A and B are shown apart, each in its own frame.
Chain A
Amino acid sequence: MSAAAAPTGLFDCRDAYVRTVEALAADDDRIVAVVNDSVGSSKLGAFQKRFPTRLVNVGIAEQNMVSVGAGLANGGKIPFVSGAACFLTARAMEQIKVDCAYSEANVKLCGISSGVAYGELGATHHSIEDVAWLRAIDKMTIIVPSDPWETAEAIKAAAQHDGPVFVRISRMPVPELPRTDPVFRIGRGEVLQKGGDLAIIANGTTVHHALAAAKTLAAEGIAARVINMSTVAPLDEALVAAAAATGAIVTVEEGLSKGGLGGAVAEFCAAHAPVRMRMLGFPGFAPTGSAAWLMEHFGLTAPGIATAARELLGAVKAG
Chain B
Amino acid sequence: MSNSQGAIAPATYGEMQADRTTRVAHVRERANWMRRRLLGMILAAGQGHPGGDLSATDVVATLYFDILRIDPTRPNAPDRDRFVMSKGHCTGALYSALAGAGFFPEADLDTYLKPESKLNGHPNRTYLAGVETNTGPLGHGFPVAVGIAIAGQIDDADYRVYALTGDGELQEGSMWEAAMLAGHRKLGKLTVIVDRNRLQQGARTEETNSLEPLADKWRAFGWDVVELDGHDHAALIDAFDAAAAPRDTPRVIIANTFKGHGVSYMRDQAGWHHGVPSADQYALAIGELEAEIQS
Contacts and interface: CB of A to CB of B under 8 A. Distances in A.
Contacts of A74: 82, 132-133, 144, 147-148, 151
Contacts of B124: 102-103
Contacts of B140: 67, 94-95, 98-99
B136 A76 contact: no
Contact of B150 (A71, A94, A99): A71
Contacts of B2: 75-76
B152 interface: yes
B147 A70 contact: yes
A64 B154 contact: no
A139 to B, nearest CB: 10
A69 interface: yes
Nearest to B151: A75
Interface stretch (A54-62, A165-173, A271-279): A54-62
Given A61-B177, A63-B173, A68-B181, A99 B154 contact: no
A99 B149 CA distance: 16
Which range holds the interface residue count of chain B? 20 to 34
A98 B149 CA distance: 19
Interface string A78-118: 00000000000000001100110011110000000000000
B1 interface: yes
Contacts of A56: 150
Nearest to A67: B143
Contact of A71 (B137, B143, B174, B180): B143
Contacts of B34: none
A72 B143 CA distance: 11
B12 to A, nearest CB: 20
A29 interface: yes
Contact of A99 (B144, B151, B173): B144
Contacts of A95: 140, 143, 174
Interface in B172-197: 173-174, 177-178, 180-181
A302 interface: no
A32 interface: yes
A30 interface: yes
A61 B146 CA distance: 13
B59 to A, nearest CB: 21
A53 B154 contact: yes
B134 interface: yes
Interface in B93-146: 124-126, 132-137, 139-140, 143-146
Contact of A76 (B137, B151, B180): B151
A64 B177 contact: yes
B15 interface: no
A54 B180 CA distance: 19
Contact of A67 (B82, B173, B178): B178
A135 interface: no
Contacts of B144: 67-68, 70-71, 74, 99
Given A64-B181, A104-B126, A75 B148 contact: yes
A76 B134 contact: no
Given A99-B144, A103-B125, A105-B133, A68 B1 contact: no
A98 B181 contact: no
A77 B154 CA distance: 10
B78 interface: yes
B155 interface: yes
A103 B78 CA distance: 18
A63 B150 contact: no
A29 B157 CA distance: 14
Interface string A17-31: 000000000000110
A64 B143 contact: yes
B154 A68 contact: no
B133 A77 contact: no
A71 B151 CA distance: 8
A53 B154 CA distance: 6
Contacts of B137: 94, 98
Nearest to A139: B126
Contacts of B82: 74
Nearest to A51: B154
Residue among B125, B143, B148 having the largest count of chain A Cβ atoms under 10 Å: B143
A63 B174 contact: yes
A141 B140 CA distance: 22
A281 B33 CA distance: 60
Contact of A59 (B132, B143, B181): B181
Nearest to A53: B154
Contacts of B155: 75-76
B78 A76 contact: yes
A241 B94 CA distance: 48
A102 B133 CA distance: 9
Contacts of A61: 177, 180-181
Nearest to B82: A74
Interface in B1-44: 1-2
A51 to B, nearest CB: 10
Contacts of B1: 29-30, 76
Nearest to A32: B154
23 contacts: A32-B154, A58-B177, A59-B180, A59-B181, A64-B146, A64-B174, A67-B178, A68-B143, A71-B147, A71-B150, A71-B151, A75-B2, A75-B147, A75-B151, A75-B154, A76-B151, A77-B154, A95-B143, A99-B133, A99-B140, A102-B124, A103-B134, A105-B133
Given A63-B143, A69-B147, A105-B133, 8 more contacts: A53-B154, A63-B177, A71-B146, A75-B147, A75-B150, A75-B154, A99-B144, A103-B126
Q: Which 3 A-B pairs have the closest CB atoms?
A: A71-B147, A75-B151, A67-B143
